[in-house]
């Protein structure tokens, strides 16, 4: 398996634009996590899914953020409209049950 | 106070030294993870443990559930061990991770 695949690896966008981050989890994993990493706050959980169903979205900062998992092999994290304070590295991870999670390479988002 | 506290925040060592990174947590957990993040950003899971001790090559991780404390040890450190090491815990009843701030390790040749 190629591991968790995230795209794009880098994204630069202007404030106010919509941004969509994509994730393909490891095949067979039933949990998918979205994390955000910033210098100020470190790694934070945004939302996680179990069997494509959102379980905990308490980490989603505000209504500008939304995440979907339409099937077991794909998830998106959307920010609309984007703001400079959303600049961060966004990681997707997946796991089988409560076993260790495998991380994607991350998407570095810069909002100017 | 953060749920997960790591120390030290930064650590510089000479090649060959024995290194210890500490993690304390304040919640009941089902498992504790040690992660490694290299420059360039990729995150790799080193250990997941819920009791006792695990060893992988030069890396050893221990956990004391009663004291809510874990340590990551690196024996015979090498410059390629230079990275940020992150402690993360999974609370009982949840499957999400809460993270420490990380320890930035630099091993000089």
Residue-wise pLDDT tens digits, A99-111: 889 999 999 999 9
- Give the nearest partner residue to A48 out of B88, B95, B100, using CB atoms: B95
Is it the case that residue B74 has pLDDT exceeding 90?
yes
Residue A1: per-residue pLDDT: 64
pLDDT tens profile A3-46 = 999 999 999 999 999 999 999 999 999 999 999 999 888 999 99
Residues 6 or more apart whose CB falls under 8 angstroms from that of B7 comprise B21, B22, B103
Contact yes or no for B23/B70 (Cβ under 8 A): yes
| CA angle in degrees (0–180, nearest 5) for A106-A108-A109 | 130
**Look-up of token digits 């966008």:** A13
Question: Under 8 Å CB-to-CB from A62, ≥6 apart: which residues?
Answer: none
Beta carbons of A55 and B95 less than 8 Å apart: yes
Instruction: Say how far residue B108 (Cα) sits from the centre of its chain.
Output: 20
Q: Is the pLDDT higher at A98 or at A111?
A: A111
Cα(A57)–Cα(B76) distance, rounded to whole angstroms? 42
- As a whole number, mean pLDDT of residues A76-91 equals 97
Kindly state whether B54 is in contact with chain A, defined as any CB-CB distance less than 8 angstroms.
Answer: no
**C-beta of residue A6 within 8 angstroms of C-beta of residue A106:** yes
3-class SS of residue A74: strand
User: Residues B14-43: pLDDT tens digits?
Assistant: 999 999 999 999 988 889 999 999 887 789
Residues forming beta bridges with residue B25, ordered by sequence position? B4
CA distance A69 to A67: 7
Given this model, what pLDDT does residue B39 score?
82
Q: Which of A45, A97, A99 sits opposite B96 (nearest CB)?
A: A45
Closest CA to B92 of B42, B34, B25: B25
Nearest CA in chain B to A95: B95
Average pLDDT over residues B44-72: 94
Mean pLDDT of A71-99: 95
């Amino acid at each position: 398996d190629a591991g968790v695949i995230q795209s794009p690896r880098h994204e630069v966008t202007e404030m106010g634009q919509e941004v969509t981050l994509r994730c393909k989890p490891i095949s067979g994993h039933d949990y998918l996590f979205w994390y955000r990493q910033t210098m100020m706050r470190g790694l934070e959980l945004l939302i996680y899914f179990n069997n494509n169903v959102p379980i905990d979205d308490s980490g989603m900062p505000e209504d500008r953020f939304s995440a979907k998992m339409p099937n077991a092999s794909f998830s998106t994290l959307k920010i609309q409209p984007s703001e400079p304070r959303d600049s961060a590295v966004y990681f997707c991870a997946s796991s089988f049950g409560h076993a260790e999670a495998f991380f994607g390479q991350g998407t570095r988002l810069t909002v100017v | 106070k953060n749920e997960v506290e790591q120390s030290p925040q930064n650590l510089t060592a000479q090649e060959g030294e024995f290194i210890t990174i500490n993690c304390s947590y304040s919640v009941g957990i089902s498992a504790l993870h040690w992660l490694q993040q290299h420059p360039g950003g990729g995150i790799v899971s080193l250990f997941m443990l819920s009791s006792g001790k695990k060893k992988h090559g030069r890396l050893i991780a221990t956990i004391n559930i009663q004291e809510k404390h874990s340590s990551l040890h690196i024996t015979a450190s090498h410059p390629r061990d230079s990275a940020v090491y992150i402690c993360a815990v999974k609370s009982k009843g949840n499957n999400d991770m809460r993270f420490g701030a990380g320890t930035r390790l630099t091993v000089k040749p």
